[in-house]
Amino acid sequence: MIMKKAIIIGSGIGGSSIGALLCSIGYKVELFEKNSLLGGRYSTYTKVDDDGREYKMDVGCHLVGNCEKGSIGKVFNEIGLPNAIKWSYASHPRPIFYYINQFIKFPQEIHKIGLNNRDFKSAFKLFDKLKSITDEEIRELEENQVTLSDFLKDYTKNEKIFSLMSFINGMYFVISPDKASASEWIRCQNEIQRNKSSGYPIGGTGIIANTLCKYIEDNGGTVHKETEVSKIIIDNQTAKGVELKNGEQIFSDLIISNAGVINTVNNLIEHSVLDNKYIARINKYEYSLATVQVKVALDKKITDQKMIMFLGEEFDLDSVEERYENMLDEQIPDFHPVLFCPIVSNIDPSVAPEGTQLIYAGGGCPMPNDGFSNKNHKDGWEKACINSLERIFPDIRDHILWIETTTPEDIMNFVDEAGCVIGISQAADQMGANRPDFQVPNISNLYLCCADTGTTGIGGELAANSALNLFDIIKNDI
């Protein structure tokens, strides 16, 4: 084929993946990233402490659902680099719940939460259904827009079981179970159970995009950091190139935006070339929720666990709903009731100096009306998370070297999208045929590639899924 050029806007997992994939079939790729770091929410940076010691810190709070067996691994297989990323599984020990005052292995120790015989049987009826459910049944759930809450109610009325499943859902999709897609939850849950390969890339999550972008450069492409695209140039309903913030115009055969669907439509494309119904439809999509992430460095190793799922109070759906509403009303709790806690230095010892330990704790957190410029908000949420960690590790405060807290506002300043964790959420009415399309109607040579256009997957794997699907479309159009 005659070499074609593709411009990629953004270096998140979707952008860096599609860029590398196109390079692998001969495209000349030019990628523009507005930040100094590559990888979007998967970016990694270096923090140096007062003693000059280095820590590799992720912008987000991540565990990769399927490592090399998932969609990210498939991207590297496709470009001929199956072993480019070294993975460390979150196993031996496997992820574990901390419920009130005890550790619980899930599902084998589910009896510890105090189920009676009937509820115990209903729990395993649910687990058996997840193992035996057919693709046709999953498609039917998707087409009927069944929520996770409604699906679970057919199998159990027990609030404790319901809340455990809801926690797993929140960890995957950062959205409430009464909105989450049951079909997507089942797909992701079964993939994780089948592969048993949840883990972390050695060197931090940023190693993924950095490796993909190096592949782009090694294959004749160009990667620009700290270079912001201000608009997509469209002439006669055809995407022709991009204009940078400094006014420079660069032209290309294909334009692919990894900047998020809503952001691309509202801020990078002139609305005069778009159909008003399309603009309205895009702006009706809802994002996933936001989180606060507290990253804690310790002067010694205080646990051998690799990932802890913290549930700090008795399960009562009414009180949980009330607590969530209070959080939305900016009432900061004394302790965060639900935390996702990867002990990253136990999964990958290279991220922290020898003799120290690095723990992340992430949990739901709304964006205050006055943002986090009000220091009380950030301090309050940080304190709530540390109070929760103290329930797991009573002496943790005695060993803290430093704390770094990432708020929804920090994420918003870095990747936009209202500071949310995923992008357009995997809600029941936003999956399947209702997911945003890769192409913008009536605009040729323009594609959207990000988690928003992914059809299945958790976080970065949803974005990689999008890249693989778009790659197939472009190959078929050649």
What mean pLDDT value characterizes the chain? 93
Lowest-confidence pick of 103-117, 141-155, 424-438, 462-476: 103-117
Across the range 383-410, mean pLDDT stands at: 97
Taking the CB of residue 93, how many other CB atoms lie within 10 A of it?
15
Across the range 163-185, mean pLDDT stands at: 93
- Is the preceding omega at residue 107 within 30 degrees of 0, hence cis? yes
Is the pLDDT at 330 greater than 80? The verdict is no
pTM strictly above 0.75? yes
More confident residue, 84 or 110: 84
pLDDT in tens, 69-85: 999 999 999 999 999 99
Strands 291-298 and 5-9: unpaired
Lowest-confidence pick of 6-15, 106-115, 466-475: 106-115
- Is the preceding omega at residue 93 within 30 degrees of 0, hence cis? yes
Cβ-contact 260, 266 below 8 angstroms: no
Is the pLDDT at 320 greater than 70? The verdict is no
- Specify the pLDDT at position 355: 97
- Of residues 57, 449, 31, 444, the one with CA closest to residue 257: 449
- Specify the pLDDT at position 315: 59
- Specify the pLDDT at position 317: 56
Q: Is 258 helix (H, G, I), strand (E, B) or coil?
A: coil
- Specify the pLDDT at position 377: 86
- Specify the pLDDT at position 75: 99
Cβ-contact 367, 419 below 8 angstroms: yes
- Specify the pLDDT at position 241: 98
% of the chain residues with pLDDT over 70: 96
Residue 315, H or E segment: none
Strands 222-224 and 28-32: parallel
